[in-house]
Structure 1
Amino acid sequence: MTEQGTADPERKARAPSARADATKKRILSAAIEQFTLKGLAGARVDEIADAARVNKRMLYAHFGSKEELWLAVLEDAYSRKRNEERLLEVGSLPPERAMALLVAFNLRYVVEHPEFVRILNEENLHQASYIRQSRFVKSLYPPLLELLDQVLLDGVRKEVFREGISPMQLYITIVSLGHFYVANQYTLSTIFDVNLMHYNALAEREAHNIDVVLRYLAK
């Protein structure tokens, strides 16, 4: 216990760090919104700073440049999705259940986080020139592919999956089934005169995606 009138050195050290972390989170949140709405070229640093309730100097102190902020947004987007994916704990489930859960998650995630789709689409317009700089994002996926490989091998051992499935190709297929659906929801809804975001339409699509993947994997 400190004497009255004497500052607690640990508390004093924590306070600036906590404020800095809170400021950084506000900037990142504002950046996600602006980049989602306007893309990398259209988003303005001063609008991001205003939305985060900081000045531009503070923003640059935390992120260095607009491009570095964009990379931080990309890393945050991938990290959030992978963190939720890990919570599924598919490695502890029967192989067919594990695959069904992973397929359903990847559809529902992009439905609930359309900003993820828009951010990835924007980065693809830039031919991955920013994410190419990130070792962090690349580090997120080898563990996932190893886990998928374990589930596939378990399915082969239990004679419910066929052999020779590439974990990478399978994962690309799984994410494509959800990503394309959300990225093209407006054009497809108009063409087929149906609201693809309606609960019933999503349930039908989820069942379809699971059926597609499980039939592909079936022995």
Structure 2
Amino acid sequence: MNEPKLKRDPEGTRRRILDAATQQFTTQGLAGARVDAIATAAGTNERMLYYYFQSKEGLYVAVLEAMYVEFANHEVSLDLSGLQPADAIRALALSIWDYLRANPRWLSLINNENLHEGQYLARSPKLREAISPVISLLSATLARGAAAGEFRADVDALDFYVTLVAMGYYVVSNRFTLKAFVGRDYSAPSAIEAVSAMQVEMLLSFLRPASAATSLYPASAGAAAREDGARMN
């Protein structure tokens, strides 16, 4: 009796290679990652790796693409349309910062690629396509806020997005060095809650129109500050 043939699963093989490569590139970097170790971990051979990805560098780019697309899809899946503009910004920010904390491998890959000055990411034609829906989602939220008079109308959505991500990225990616340097554990739940609340308020303060921001500080306070300045001159 003949042995049954195993069913070919090209997509499954490709996914296993990507998963194994993600682990290797996260821990070893591009230079230290070994093709044979990736193939073994994926339960396949080096020939299949080269068949799907052409080279180790091609596999590395594919891993970066997959991680960025997954990150973008997570944000686009948020339903912000039913939230008030300020609540929508808060939800988006907290979601992104939570994602960064939950995916340390992604941070390791980003840090590694920055050591390469982004040269491998620059080879990918898919990354700009991945970020566009996220920026569109944020742009629509900012436009709703501006139409309601809650937000300024001159906010650049891409700059705001980069700033929002950077706030969460720094605290997460530098959590170990921050703990050693300043003595505070920014991965502790109480620190996460306090810093996130502060960062959200900073973002919303920037978005408020000038008239709304001025109303938060009484005119008398501004006048007193001007008088103090005049006395100092």
Q: TM-score, normalised by structure 1?
A: 0.88
Q: Indicate if the aligned counterparts of 1:152 and 1:161 stay in contact, CA closer than 8 A.
A: yes
Q: Which amino acid aligns with 2:87?
A: R
Q: How much does 1:72 deviate?
A: 0.5
1:152 and 2:142 are equivalent in the alignment: yes
**2:57 counterpart residue number:** 67
- 1:187 is the counterpart of 2:187: no
1:163 alignment partner, one of 150, 153, 161: 153
**1:24 positional shift:** 1.1
Taking the aligned partners of 2:93 and 2:136, their CA distance within structure 1 comes to 17
Structure 2 match to 1:4: none
Name 1:107's counterpart in structure 2: 97
- Helix, strand or coil at the partner of 2:183: coil
**Aligned partners of 2:36 and 2:46 also within 8 Å:** yes
How far the C-alpha of 1:143 sits from its partner, in A, is 2.6
Quick one: which of 112, 123, 141 aligns to 1:133? 123
CA–CA separation in structure 2 for the residues paired with 1:130 and 1:162? 37
Partner Cα separation in structure 1 for residue 38 and residue 153 of structure 2: 50
1:82 to 58, 72, 79: 72
Q: Which residue of 1 aligns with 2:34?
A: 44
- Deviation >3 Å, runs of 4+: none
- How far 1:117 moved relative to its partner? 1.1
Report SS of the residue matched to 1:195. coil
CA contact (8 A) 2:76 2:137 kept: no
Amino acid at match of 1:80: E
Please give the root-mean-square deviation of Cα atoms over the aligned residues, in Å: 1.5
CA-CA distance at 1:93 after TM superposition: 2.2
Q: Which of 140-149 and 28-37 deviates more?
A: 140-149
Q: Which amino acid aligns with 1:158?
A: A
CA distance in 1 between partners of 2:123 and 2:21 (Å)? 19
**In the alignment, is residue 35 of structure 1 matched against residue 43 of structure 2?**
no
Name the structure 1 match of 2:224. Answer: none
Contact 2:53–2:59, Cα closer than 8 Å, also in 1: yes
Q: Which amino acid aligns with 2:77?
A: L
How far, CA to CA, are the matches of 1:141 and 1:198 in structure 2? 30
Contact 1:71-1:131 at 8 Å conserved across structures: yes
- Structure 2's unaligned 5+ residue stretches are 210-233
Query: Partner of 1:91: helix, strand, or coil?
Result: coil
Q: 1:162 corresponds to which letter in structure 2? A: R
User: Does residue 116 in structure 1 map to residue 109 in structure 2?
Assistant: no
Normalised to the residue count of structure 2, the TM-score between the two structures is 0.83
Local SS of the residue matching 2:144: helix
How far the C-alpha of 1:193 sits from its partner, in A, is 1.7
State the AA in 1 paired with 2:158: M
Distance 1:40 1:205 in 2: 33
Number of residue-to-residue matches in the alignment? 204
CA contact (8 A) 1:91 1:147 kept: no
Distance (whole Å) between structure 2 residues aligned to residue 188 and residue 103 of structure 1: 21
Could you say which structure has the larger radius of gyration? 2
Identity within the alignment, %:
35
Q: Work out whether residues 16 and 42 of structure 2, in 8 Å CA contact, stay in contact via their aligned partners in 1.
A: yes
Q: Is the 8 A contact 1:31 1:69 kept in 2?
A: yes
Partner residue of 2:203?
A: 213
Aligned match for 2:12, one of 19, 22, 26:
22
